[in-house]
Amino acid sequence: MKNFTSVTDLGPLDQAIKEAFEIRDNRYKYDTLGKNKTLLMLFFNSSLRTRLSTQKAAMNLGMNVMVLDINQGAWKLESERGVVMDGDKPEHLLEAIPVMGAYADIIGVRSFAQFKNRDDDYQEKILNQFIKYSGRPVFSMEAATRHPLQSFADLITIEEHKTKAHPKVVLTWAPHPNALPQAVPNSFAEWMNVADCDFVITHPHGYELDASFTGDAVIEYDQMKAFEGADFIYAKNWSAASPEHYGEVLSKDRSWTVGSRQMAVTNNAFFMHCLPVRRNMIVSDDVIESPRSLVIPQAANREISATVVLKRLLENL
Ligand code: CP
């Protein structure tokens, strides 16, 4: 694997799952593969799980790790060509990227949607500049439109807990006080469309995700109807994705908060969320604390998904 930015980079999912289970059962099996290789992790945005799980994955493989918070410990970076750099950004990405590439063998980048320009976000301008100019394999640690390490961990978690070959998986919008990117729901939709499941997305009108991600998913605007018979409920907030309302918060309707009322019509579904989660906005205390909540196994599987991805990138160096 040359880079990892979406599900298509991973190839057949059954093989990736097999590899994930092999690593889960012996996570130090490849502990010399990364000897004398350096991972550089770059964060334009905050992180808890991605930072720790990816660093742990690199250590599982024997790699050296460097972590840089771009907007805290480093110079602020300009990303546009042609800008007269007389503002608060003393360095340009076009110099910074190859410099960083000189110190690393593999680069991980976290760069969220900026909500200034939908086209820029949906073209993944920052991530693609790293791929183009670093001269190194690059993987996404959540970009503007996708969070593939999370979706891979989500798929591993579903595979571990499903009790039927073709489960019903429901992605539901839930309210949040702030405008959040579409990366997690886009990515989850993309992965579920490839996985073997009956996939339904439910959200209020105005929260339609881009069709390039939702694919063949059934879109159901009635949340209770969508939840009927579900085996897995995946809750997430996202802001509007349409060009007309891109990045806007159109609703904070707390009747969409996932609680025992909605879970009661499911097939005793498991509850999933990528974390961090705002309790009693996205999900009630009782649902997230129930024995059917998978939020901690999902987070734990981030180490497994990152180990598989780094292993594949190391094997291709
Ligand atoms: N789920 C996830 O990516 O968590 P962090 O933002 O804390 O890394």
How many Å lie between the centroid of ligand 1 and the Cα of residue 275? 6
d(CA 60, CA 130): 25
pTM above 0.85, yes or no: yes
Q: For ligand 1, pick from 47, 51, 303, 305 the residue to mutate: most ligand atoms within 8 Å of CB.
A: 47
Instruction: Please tell me whether residue 39 adopts helix, strand or coil conformation.
Output: strand
The CATH superfamily label for domain 150-298 reads: Aspartate/ornithine carbamoyltransferase (3.40.50.1370)
CATH 3.40.50.1370 for domain 7-146+302-315, yes or no, is: yes
Residue 296 tokens, joined: 């901690």
How many Å lie between the centroid of ligand 1 and the Cα of residue 84? 34
**Contact indicator for 4, 10 with CB cutoff of 8 Å:** yes
d(CA 11, CA 20): 13
pLDDT score of 33 = 98
Return averaged pLDDT per consecutive 10 residues of the chain, 317 residues in all.
97 98 97 98 97 98 97 89 95 97 98 96 97 98 98 98 98 98 98 97 98 97 98 98 98 98 98 98 98 98 98 98
Segments in 238-317 forming alpha helices (H): 260-263, 285-288, 295-315
Task: Give the DSSP H or E segment for 271.
Answer: strand 270-272
How many Å lie between the centroid of ligand 1 and the Cα of residue 69? 15
pLDDT score of 205 = 98
Burial 227-238 (b: 16+ CB within 10 A, else e): beebbbbbbbbb
**Contact indicator for 217, 197 with CB cutoff of 8 Å:** no
pLDDT score of 273 = 98
pLDDT score of 72 = 85
Strand bridging mode 106-110 / 91-92: unpaired
The CA angle 47-53-54, to the nearest 5 degrees, is 90
| DSSP calls for 191-212 | HHHHSSSEEEEE--TT-PPPHH
Which residues, 6 or more positions from 109, have their beta carbon under 8 angstroms from its beta carbon?
Answer: 42, 44, 126, 127, 130, 138, 139, 140, 141, 143
How many Å lie between the centroid of ligand 1 and the Cα of residue 160? 21
How many Å lie between the centroid of ligand 1 and the Cα of residue 81? 30
How many Å lie between the centroid of ligand 1 and the Cα of residue 141? 9
Block residue for tokens 């593939």: 148
How many Å lie between the centroid of ligand 1 and the Cα of residue 52? 9
pLDDT score of 126 = 96
What residues does CATH 3.40.50.1370 cover in the chain? Answer: 7-146+302-315, 150-298
Q: Which atom of ligand 1 is nearest to the CA of 45?
A: 6
d(CA 110, CA 80): 18
pLDDT score of 64 = 98
How many Å lie between the centroid of ligand 1 and the Cα of residue 304? 15
Question: Please, which residues bridge with residue 41 across strands?
Answer: 67, 108
The CA angle 233-239-245, to the nearest 5 degrees, is 140
Residue nearest to atom 3 of ligand 1 (CA): 50
Angle between helices 148-161 and 13-25 (to 10 degrees): 80
Q: For ligand 1, pick from 43, 46, 50, 298 the residue to mutate: most ligand atoms within 8 Å of CB.
A: 50
Kindly list the protein residues whose Cβ atom lies closer than 6 A to any atom of ligand 1.
47-50, 142, 150, 274-276
Q: For ligand 1, pick from 109, 274, 295, 296 the residue to mutate: most ligand atoms within 8 Å of CB.
A: 274
pLDDT score of 242 = 97
Residue nearest to atom 7 of ligand 1 (CA): 48
